[in-house]
Chains A and B, each alone.
Chain A
Amino acid sequence: MSGGLIHAMVVAEPLIGFDTAALAKNFWALTVDGLTYGSVYALVAVGYTLVYGVLRLINFAHSEVFMIGMIGQYAVLMMLGFGPSGNAYDLGIAMTVVYLVLALAGGMAISGGVAVGLERVAYRPLRKRGAQPLVFLITAIGASFVLQEFVHFVLPRLTGDTLGGVNAQQPIRLVVPETQFTLFTANVTNVSIIIIVSALVLALATDLFINKTKFGRGIRAVAQDPVTATLMGVSRERIIVLTFLIGGLLAGAAALLYTLRVPNGIIYSGGFILGIKAFCAAVLGGIGNLRGALLGGLLLGIIENYGQVLFGTEWRDVVAFGLLVLVLMVRPTGILGESLGRARA
């Protein structure tokens, strides 16, 4: 951090910088960027929260579902004829939107499919055997290894080194970040607008789906009391598949949005850190709580962004993990509490 670097005496570790001046100066810009990241976290967090609400289980492989979504939307764009070039495509607004929607659909379809497949292969057999929670977790770790290594080693062999592999994919730039307007002192780019608006729309749609539709009522019923829900004619198995599907679809959408902001984030290990942060977001808002996931995601994005300026970019992930520990210690049920199962209108 250049200029105005203050080594605060209160910080126990003098090796870490403590730059309050930069934070004050870039406050609004950091807030907007934080919201951009936060909306991506929120969408992934919904996947964790839904599965947790229904199954009382942290779907550890969800981060790999997100990662596959990134690969998926990239593959769709390649099939549409786009190649990785350093330059951006100048398509005009209408065609850009069409291609973005196609890529979104592709990413969502692949992520949703993988999430449902994962449930089928890794979780359902265990549920049938009444396995312990620990066993579920280890299976999920195994499955996420398989997915990662599939993209790492198998996919490049299948596609002739065009997809997957050790290095990140060369970005396909559909949207070039351009400042659209200034909010307070912050420049808001078109990419930020696309990400925040689409994420909010998707989150709202999910909330409506859970709260207003028949299927949503089924999900809430199973989350609240699986046995009674089954007795009332709700198929638990079908509901579980549905929750995995919704989580997967949203992760796929998040994958496209994330690659707009971080074009060179498409790599086999790219889901890991983001998945953990999304889980942090879910816990922060109250795991099992849809609106909590949204709130937690946005908050985490913002706090993390402030933190990385305060302490330095390299401490970004540490801030997120530290926040997780702090929240779990002070309020393990999160800000809004666990509530998917609690009956609401």
Chain B
Amino acid sequence: MSETPVTSPSPAPVSTKASVANRPHGGLGDAMRLWWDALPRPTQWVVGFPLVVFIALLPVLNLPVLTTVGTNFGAVMAQFGMYALIAIGLNVVVGQAGLLDLGYVGFYAVGAYTVAILTSPSSPWNQTGDGGWLSRDWAWLAALPIAVAITALSGLLLGSPTLRLRGDYLAIVTLGFGEIVRLLADNLDDVTGGGRGLSQVAYPRIGISEDNTNGVFSAGASSGTLNSGVWWYWLSIVLILGTLVFVGNLERSRVGRSWVAIREDEDAAEIMGVPTFRFKLWAFVIGASIGGASGALYAGQVQFVNPTNFNVINSVLFLCAVVLGGQGNKLGVILGAFLIVYLPNFFLGRTELFGIPINGTEIAEFRYLFFGLALTVLMVFRPQGLIPVRQKLLTYGRELYVTARRTVRKDAA
């Protein structure tokens, strides 16, 4: 990331020209970000909370401009929630620590399969039936931390031998890992059900009523505005917010600073005393566990897992979300995830857009072609993504940064 702006606040520039040259490359709404950073914390909460509530209520409000025609908007938003969580996790690995992981779908699969193997009646290790130690109603919630723990372990297992490798080599090895996980799921028939997959995975049984005999989270609750998609979307928002706080705190800690140092120049970081291997492993494990959480979310929502959903093409799609939004920027990658999920669904089933006749289903079918084109064009013209990262290397540099930027602006005016 040679274009990452100078982050330490520079002394007041001599001329306007210098201040322009010093300006970080403008992302979408760089001015807005400055305004946001300048707000005191409580004000940020006051502004941010209604915003989150608004975003959470999107599938209920069903705004005519945003809603999807060919598919249920709530289900689309639920998928967006899953992808957003994945993007946040992958962002830790790719965006923060600069390790290119092309096998991220492997962790997603491990998380999903852990929940499925523990709770599906078709699995030999099902723990929800007679003699099992999981109650059917709360099995999903109990399996979630187990899934996270096991994915973290798999991250450790993959990371410890391979993280000595760099760049492209690491990319290939992780790609191989993703394929190995899929092939294992496909071929270990006795445990994973092979190509048939595992069905009837547990989900939280809450809100059982006469309409929803299996609760609001059941895949059967698909009618009306408050369908299962919306509930899964809300659940994923809770998980996302928790993860964001966790990752945000990590980012501002010694760990996060080490990641940035490794990303920018691994050799220099090593020489300056950063134990690079250990922190790379940290990034891998944390990224993996977030991926595992998302996998668990997927298994619960769909109540079915099979190997075809864990193709490497999905890995690339996840990477698309991160790169498109702006690697290293948490909000950016969430936006990226939204675009990845929403755009194909937006076109699905549409026959006209702004009065122009289109074949929306065909456009949705071509999505990988468009993603490929977008990825290529974006990398050539805007390698930093839609909302690029502005890394705050200084832990307590926020106030300092804002003050410095104010001075620069005043001088420029």
| Contact residues in B for A125 (Cβ distance below 8 Å) | 380
Contact of B376 among A15, A139, A152 (CB under 8 A): A139
Would you call B183 an interface residue if the criterion is a C-beta within 8 Å of the partner chain's C-beta atoms? yes
Q: Does A131 contact B (CB under 8 A)?
A: yes
**Is there contact, CB below 8 Å, between B187 and A314?**
yes
B373 touches A146 (CB 8 A): yes
The reply to whether A150 and B369 contact each other, CB–CB distance below 8 Å, is yes
Q: A148-B368, A149-B372 are in contact. Are A318 and B180 (CB under 8 A)?
A: yes
Chain B residues lying within 8 Å of A312, measured Cβ to Cβ, are 187
Q: Which of B162, B187, B373, B374 contacts A325 (CB 8 A)?
A: B162
Does B179 lie at the interface of the complex (its beta carbon under 8 Å from any beta carbon of A)?
yes
Contact B372 A144 (CB under 8 A): yes
Q: Given known contacts A57-B168, A153-B365, is B383 in contact with A141 (CB within 8 Å)?
A: no
Inter-subunit contact A315/B162 (CB<8 Å): no
Which of B164, B176, B187 interacts with A315 by CB under 8 Å?
B187
User: Shortest Cβ distance from A328 into chain B, in angstroms?
Assistant: 6
Check A329–B380 contact: CB distance below 8 A.
Answer: no
Q: Is the CB of B184 within 8 A of A318?
A: yes
Distance in angstroms from A278 CB to nearest chain B CB is 11
Q: A145-B371, A325-B176, A328-B169 are in contact. Are A139 and B379 (CB under 8 A)?
A: yes
Interface residues of B in 141-156 (CB under 8 A from A): none
Secondary structure at the B interface, as helix, strand, loop or mixed, is helix
Tell me, yes or no, whether B302 is within 8 Å of chain A by CB: no
Q: Does A6 interact with chain B (Cβ within 8 Å)?
A: no
Interface code A113-148, partner B: CB below 8 Å = 1, 0 otherwise?
A: 000000001100110011111110111011111101
Q: Using a CB-CB cutoff of 8 Å, which residues 359-389 of chain B contact chain A?
A: 365-366, 368-369, 371-376, 379-380, 383
A272 within 8 A of B: yes
Quick one: given A138-B323, A314-B187, are A149 and B379 in contact (CB under 8 Å)?
A: no
Residue in A138, A149, A317, A324 whose CB lies within 8 Å of B368? A149
Q: Is the CB of A139 within 8 A of B365?
A: no
* Closest Cβ neighbor of B2 among chain A residues: A132
Question: Which of the residues B162, B365, B375, B383 comes within 8 Å of A132, measured between beta carbons?
Answer: B383
| C-alpha gap A325/B160 in the complex (Å) | 12
Q: Which residues of B contact A138 (CB under 8 A)?
A: 319, 323, 375, 379
A332, CB-defined interface residue at 8 Å: yes
Chain B interface bracket (under 10, 10 to 19, 20 to 34, 35 or more):
35 or more
Task: Tell me, rounded to whole Å, the shortest Cβ–Cβ distance linking B267 to chain A.
Answer: 14
Identify which of A145, A314, A328 gathers the most chain B CB atoms within 10 Å of its CB: A145
Interface membership of A154, Cβ < 8 A:
yes
Complex contact A318–B183 (CB within 8 A): yes
CB distance from B1 to the nearest CB of A (A): 7
Q: CA–CA, A137 to B168, complex, Å?
A: 8
Mark each residue of chain B from 289 to 326: 1 if its CB lies under 8 Å from any CB of chain A, else 0. 00000000000000000000000100010010001000
Instruction: Report which residue of B100, B161, B383 has the largest number of chain A beta carbons within 10 angstroms of its beta carbon.
Output: B383
A89 located at the interface, meaning its Cβ lies under 8 Å from any Cβ of chain B in the complex: no
Looking across the interface, which residue of chain A has its beta carbon closest to that of B383?
Answer: A135
B12 within 8 A of A: no
**B52 at the A interface (CB under 8 A):** no
Across-interface contacts of A272 in B (CB, < 8 A): 312
- Report the minimum CB–CB distance from B91 to chain A (whole Å): 14
The docked-state distance in angstroms from the alpha carbon of A149 to that of B313 is 12
Q: Which residue of A lies closest to B312 (CB)?
A: A272
B319 in contact with A141 (CB, 8 Å): yes
Contact mask for chain B residues 189-221; partner A; CB cutoff 8 A; 1 contact, 0 none: 011000000000000000000000000000000
Interface membership of A321, Cβ < 8 A: yes
The answer to whether B179 touches A317, judged by C-beta atoms less than 8 angstroms apart, is yes
Question: What sequence of 0s and 1s flags, for each residue 54-91 of chain B, a beta carbon within 8 Å of any chain A beta carbon?
Answer: 00000000000000000000000000000000000000
Chain B nearest CB, measured from A154 CB (Å): 7
- CA–CA, A130 to B1, complex, Å? 11
Contact with B379, one of A142, A144, A321 (Cβ below 8 angstroms): A142
- Which chain A residues (5-31) contact chain B, with CB distance < 8 Å? 15
In the complex, which of the residues B176, B186, B312, B365 has the most CB atoms of chain A within 10 Å of its own CB atom?
B176
Contact A142 B191 (CB under 8 A): no
Q: In the complex, what residues of A have CB within 8 A of residue B366's CB?
A: 149, 153
Interface pair A137/B100, CB less than 8 Å apart: yes
- Which among A131, A132, A135, A315 is the interface contact of B183 at CB below 8 angstroms? A315
With both beta carbons as reference points, the residue of chain B lying nearest to A325 in the complex is identified as B173
User: Within 8 Å CB of B20, what residues of A?
Assistant: none
Question: Which residues of chain B are within 8 angstroms of A325 by Cβ–Cβ distance?
Answer: 161-162, 173, 176-177
Query: Of residues 275 to 311 in A, which have CB atoms within 8 Å of B's CB atoms?
Result: 276, 279-280, 283
The listed residue (B165, B175, B365, B379) touching A131 by CB distance below 8 A is: B379
- A329, B161: Cβ atoms under 8 Å? yes
Chain B interface (Cβ < 8 Å from any Cβ of A): 1-2, 98, 100, 161-162, 164-165, 167-169, 171-173, 175-177, 179-180, 183-184, 186-188, 190-191, 312, 316, 319, 323, 365-366, 368-369, 371-376, 379-380, 383
Q: Which are the 6 A-B pairs with shortest beta-carbon distances?
A: A145-B372, A142-B375, A321-B176, A149-B369, A142-B376, A146-B372
For this complex, 27 residue pairs linking A to B, each with C-beta atoms less than 8 Å apart, are A15-B190, A57-B168, A58-B171, A122-B380, A129-B383, A132-B2, A134-B98, A135-B383, A139-B379, A141-B316, A142-B371, A142-B372, A142-B373, A144-B372, A145-B316, A145-B371, A145-B372, A145-B375, A149-B366, A276-B176, A280-B176, A314-B186, A321-B176, A321-B177, A322-B180, A325-B161, A325-B162
